[in-house]
């Protein structure tokens, strides 16, 4: 969304807030809050239906991430899909996505603009087998639970949810609905270089796992500023859960995979308010660092920063990575490389095609074959709990234990 340069900042912010309301965040946010304040409904839904060779898909959310995921879903040629319907309360996004799908397939899906149409129309359609859900984080749990109740397989964006109670409810829902595929959007789980790297780790290539280093250092942000239309939710804790949940959950999932366990404790500190001059209401953490301890002595050093210089081109300041070290050497999981500590050959892992496309294809295969999701509710729960642990440690600037987080459930 482009604003006139002559606008005052007050008008600028007012229009952005209005845009977010038009997009349904206010309405949907209140619905989610009501559910969060009450009892999360965990029910046994019908067994998902599947007929013929084509998987019929419904889409909930039509923002930038949803549109990108749908484009990748349609690019894969292994399994045929038919996009039956799209629901989004923000008309410009809805119309854009419907047109994109029509351009790609020659057929326009049904379009639903009502705030509750995802519930009343998408979930209730018997001709829809699977769902692609990409909406603001505070809505995830409600929609994912509804998918279980409706007997719909779903690919749901990360984080799986933003509270302990929601995480436990979704695990319980999966247990009650074992035939429903719930693929949580941690695409690294379907990525060959990560799979091979973890296998080398299990085979002892670095010896004992001693230390991990991770980062999300962004020079392309910050996201969620006024003027970005519906994306303003990225800059609001109540919608995103803050960056420890919205973005760093990818990192937590990888290192929980490395450790094959939840962390025991974490410490942290950070900064908010670095972009208050352009967004006085922004309350997410713009920079933070955390030390995370896992069982067995494995320690993770993590940094997350939205203040990286946009002028640097060498990756000195910015970068996203997950690295693990032991007495024999180091694994750079993000780069797909192993470096021996003393001497020996540097090992390169196989690279994939687009990791999002690989993840979506993994979801379609699981849906077709009735196999468990490579990234499901169990690791989704662990990533959410780790995010809550780090967030509390950063907010309170102290060591926080996982026992404290679990007690919040």
What pLDDT does residue 170 have?
A: 99
Residues in the chain: 409
Helix (H, G, I), strand (E, B) or coil at 332: strand
Domains and CATH numbers, the chain: 190-353+387-407 (3.30.360.10)
What integer is the mean pLDDT of 75-94?
A: 96
What pLDDT does residue 39 have?
A: 65
Name which of 140-144, 154-158, 276-280 the model is least confident about: 276-280
pLDDT band at 402 (very low <50, low <70, confident <90, very high): very high
What pLDDT does residue 293 have?
A: 99
pLDDT in tens, 100-123: 999 999 999 999 999 999 998 999
Residues 154/132, Cβ–Cβ less than 8 Å: yes
- What's the chain's Rg over C-alpha atoms? 21
Tokens of 267: 């410490």
**Quick check: 254 pLDDT over 90?**
yes
Tokens of 291: 């030390």
Say how far apart CA 389 and CA 302 lie, in whole Å: 13
Is the torsion defined by CA of 146, 151, 155, 161 positive or negative?
positive
**Quick check: 6 pLDDT over 60?**
no
Tokens of 239: 């919608």
pLDDT in tens, 316-358: 899 999 999 999 999 999 999 999 999 899 999 877 679 999 9
Tokens of 397: 């600037």
pLDDT in tens, 146-197: 999 999 999 999 999 999 999 999 999 999 999 999 999 999 999 999 999 9
**Quick check: 23 pLDDT over 70?**
no
């Amino acid at each position: 969304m482009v604003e006139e340069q002559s606008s005052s900042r007050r008008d600028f912010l007012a229009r952005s807030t209005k845009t977010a309301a038009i997009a349904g965040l206010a309405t949907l946010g209140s619905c989610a809050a009501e559910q969060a304040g009450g009892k999360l409904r965990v029910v046994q839904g019908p067994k998902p239906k599947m007929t013929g060779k084509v998987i019929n898909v419904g889409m909930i959310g039509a923002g930038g991430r949803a549109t990108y995921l749908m484009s990748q879903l349609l690019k894969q040629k292994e399994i045929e899909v038919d996009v039956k319907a799209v629901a989004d309360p923000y008309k410009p996004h809805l119309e854009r996505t419907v047109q994109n799908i029509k351009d790609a397939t020659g057929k326009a899906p049904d379009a639903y603009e009502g705030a509750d149409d995802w519930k009343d129309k998408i979930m209730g359609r018997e001709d829809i087998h699977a769902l692609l859900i990409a909406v603001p984080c505070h809505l995830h749990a409600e929609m994912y639970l509804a998918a279980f109740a409706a007997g719909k397989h779903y690919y749901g964006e990360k984080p799986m949810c933003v509270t302990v109670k929601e995480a436990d409810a979704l695990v319980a829902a999966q247990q009650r609905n074992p035939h429903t595929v719930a693929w949580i959007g941690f695409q690294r789980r379907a990525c060959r270089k990560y799979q091979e790297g973890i296998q080398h780790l299990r085979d002892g290539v670095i010896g004992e796992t001693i230390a991990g280093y991770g980062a999300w250092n962004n020079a392309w942000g910050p996201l969620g500023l006024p003027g970005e239309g519906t994306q303003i939710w990225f800059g609001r804790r109540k919608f995103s859960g803050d960056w420890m949940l919205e973005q760093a959950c990818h990192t937590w999932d990888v290192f929980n995979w490395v450790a094959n366990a939840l962390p025991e404790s974490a410490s942290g500190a950070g900064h908010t308010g670095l972009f208050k001059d352009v967004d006085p209401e922004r309350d997410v953490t713009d920079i933070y660092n955390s030390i995370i301890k896992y069982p067995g002595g494995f320690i993770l050093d993590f940094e997350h920063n939205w203040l990286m210089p946009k002028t640097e081109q060498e990756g000195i300041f910015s970068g996203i990575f997950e690295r693990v070290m032991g007495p024999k050497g180091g694994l750079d999981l993000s780069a797909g490389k192993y470096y021996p500590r003393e001497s020996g050959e540097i090992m390169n892992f196989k690279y994939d095609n687009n990791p999002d496309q690989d993840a979506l294809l993994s979801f379609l295969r699981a849906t077709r074959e009735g196999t468990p999701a490579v990234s499901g509710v169990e690791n989704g729960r662990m990533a959410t709990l780790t995010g809550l642990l780090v967030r509390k440690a950063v907010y309170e600037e102290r060591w926080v234990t996982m026992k404290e987080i679990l007690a919040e459930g």
